[in-house]
Amino acid sequence: MDRLFNPFRYIAGTKSLVLGLIFMVSAVFLLYSAGMIQDGYLHIAPTDATIWSILLMQLLWWIVPALFYYVGGLLLSRSHIRIVDVLGTTAFAQLLLIPMIAPMLLPAVKNGMNTILQALQQSVQPAMGDMMAVMISGIVSALFIVLFFIWNYNAFATSCNVRGWKAVLYFVVVQLVVTFVGVLV
């Protein structure tokens, strides 16, 4: 269970950074294939953007929180903080975006979302099959979002050697700031 909730005790530095960048590139291709973009910290929306725009947004929503964590580590920790550890662990945490994006490529989910939106616009009851596909996808995504927050906190705490209420408070503030900024962008 420890490896599930905190893989950063076992992987950090350059290795996690390289794997994380591979995960992000994979997420970019999935988003592009699904016609979607991560236009906020944890918001994915339809788009006709180029693959380069999608890549830029993925990098933005990774690097901004990572730099905030690094600054927090410098402020809260007495340890020597390595930027490669912070960037690597937070990049590795991007792995959890893939299972949230992948269902959007499934015809049942993609068609279900479109059908539900059309039915709601026309004030018609959507088909039960469409509703089930979208609900299952939503439940799976919610579980991965929770794990995403756990991984990101553990990436911050482990790579910056911080613990306690100050670390948790700093992490929550960073999450709120990047989420709020994402709404404004």
Domain parsing of the chain, residue ranges: 2-63+73-184
Q: What is the mean pLDDT of residues 91-103?
A: 88
Number of other residues whose CB lies within 10 A of the CB of residue 69: 27
1 vs 173 pLDDT, higher one:
173
- Which pTM does this prediction carry? 0.84
From the list 145, 155, 150, the residue with the least C-alpha distance to 16 is 155
Q: Which of 2-11, 96-105, 123-132 has the lowest mean pLDDT?
A: 123-132
Q: Which distant-in-sequence residues (6+ apart) come within 8 Å of 116 by Cβ?
A: 126, 130, 131, 134
The pLDDT assigned to 76 comes to: 96
The pLDDT assigned to 49 comes to: 92
**120-179 pLDDT tens trace:** 566 656 556 656 666 777 788 889 999 999 999 999 999 999 999 999 999 999 999 998
93: number of CA atoms within 13 Å, CB side? Answer: 31
Write the DSSP assignment of 83-123 as a string of letters.
HHHHHHHHHHGGGGGHHHHGGGGSHHHHHHHHHHHHHHHTT
Q: What is the mean pLDDT of residues 108-114?
A: 59
**21-59 pLDDT tens trace:** 999 999 999 999 888 888 888 888 888 999 999 999 999
pLDDT at 111 over 90: no
First-residue to last-residue Cα distance in the chain: 37
Number of other residues whose CB lies within 10 A of the CB of residue 89: 29
Three-state secondary-structure class, residue 140: helix
Three-state secondary-structure class, residue 79: coil
Q: Which distant-in-sequence residues (6+ apart) come within 8 Å of 78 by Cβ?
A: none
